Amino acid sequence: MGTNSSFRVCDQCHQRIPADSVFCPECGASLHPTRVSRNSGVNRSQNFSALWGLLGAGVLLVVVLVVVNRHHHASIASGPQATQASSGKTHRPSGKTTPSQSSTTPKPKAHTTVPKQPKPKIKTKTNPPPAKTKTKVPSTPPTILAGWTNESLPYHGATVSVTLPKSLTESASKISASEWLFANTGNSAYNVQVSALPASFTPPQGSTSLGPDAYGTPISKQGNVSSQTLYVDWTGHAWIAVAMAVPSKDSNWLGTIAQSVRIS
């Protein structure tokens, strides 16, 4: 618990940091000085005691060196050089001086805490990948595929041909000279009606162009039935209308039937 008393709490981020910090190492905020705890005072007094001990040892070493140096000079003065001085010869120093030895005490290194600068967070916006779109490839008239049959309908010396699923030709009937109906015997809601309309006919509002001389209404879904009506212009003669109602699970039949209509 002696080490915990030398900590404080930052005024900004409220994190526990060293008590002698000038800046918060967590958020970098400037801090106001606080009173040091008792334990930190004890540590400082211990440091001063150690320092005075080092200084005392240094002074003692200097005194010993001075005494040794004096004794050395006294021995030199009483030796052969003293005899030479008495005979009139003077001793010239060689010019080399011995540096005096001094005791230096190492200075205690001050402990400084470098505050950590918060790293800026850089947010980069990435564009989402483009959404994948699925394109439907129109199927070709299945004139030879199993489960389909081609129906030829005579009209004023011409032939209107259309390819239909066999399940919709279980019940086939000619309603009039210009109308034919093909239906499913199990569910009459699934049927295809082919009609010849006057040359002055105009496709109803809401129909869109599906190609040269061909228009169609949007696909409508009611319950289990998907329906659409196709209008083909028989230039100079009449319009051929093909009203289709098929099971919703087989709504792809609508495009296949529409592409199979031919007038020859």
DSSP E strands, 93-219 = 148-155, 158-165, 171-176, 179-183, 191-198, 208-211, 214-216
70 and 158 in a common domain: no
Out of 55, 85, 115, a domain closes at 85
94 in any annotated domain:
no
70 in any annotated domain:
yes
Output the six-digit token pair for 227. Answer: 């329906």
110 in any annotated domain:
no
Contacts of 131 (CB under 8 A, 6+ apart): none
Residue 245 forms beta bridges with which residues? 191, 227
259 and 152 in a common domain: yes
Segments forming the whole domain that contains residue 17: 4-85
pLDDT at 79: 53
Out of 68, 85, 102, a domain closes at 85
73 in any annotated domain:
yes
258 and 161 in a common domain: yes
pLDDT at 54: 77
Assess contact for 35 and 20: CB atoms under 8 A: no
**CA atoms of 152 and 194, how far apart (whole Å):** 11
257 and 153 in a common domain: yes
Please tell me what DSSP assigns to residue 109.
P
Residue carrying structure tokens 């019940």 = 171
173 and 74 in a common domain: no
81 in any annotated domain:
yes
**CA atoms of 180 and 193, how far apart (whole Å):** 6
**CA atoms of 140 and 148, how far apart (whole Å):** 13
Residue 140's Cα: distance from chain center in Å?
A: 44
Burial class (CB in 10 A: 0-12, 13-18, 19+), 179: middle
142 in any annotated domain:
no
152 and 69 in a common domain: no
pLDDT at 19: 79
**CA atoms of 242 and 228, how far apart (whole Å):** 8
**CA atoms of 232 and 230, how far apart (whole Å):** 7
The one-letter amino acid at 9 = V
160 and 247 in a common domain: yes
Other CB atoms within a 10 A radius of the CB of residue 170 amount to: 13
20, 23, 26, 28: CA torsion to nearest 10: 180
pLDDT at 220: 93
CATH of the domain at 191: 3.40.1000.10
119 in any annotated domain:
no
152 and 81 in a common domain: no
- pLDDT (tens digit, 0 to 9) for every residue of the chain, 264 residues total? 344 457 888 888 888 888 787 888 888 777 766 554 444 444 555 556 667 777 777 778 887 787 777 766 666 655 554 444 444 444 455 554 444 444 556 666 665 666 677 776 676 666 666 655 444 444 444 445 689 999 999 988 889 999 999 999 999 999 998 999 999 999 999 999 999 999 999 999 989 988 888 999 999 999 999 999 999 998 888 899 999 999 999 999 999 999 999 988
pLDDT at 207: 92
154 and 79 in a common domain: no
247 in any annotated domain:
yes
Please tell me what DSSP assigns to residue 257.
H
Give the count of domains, the chain.
Answer: 2
List Cα–Cα distances, 127 to 121, 124, 130, 131, 132, in angstroms: 19, 10, 9, 12, 15
Model pTM?
Answer: 0.46
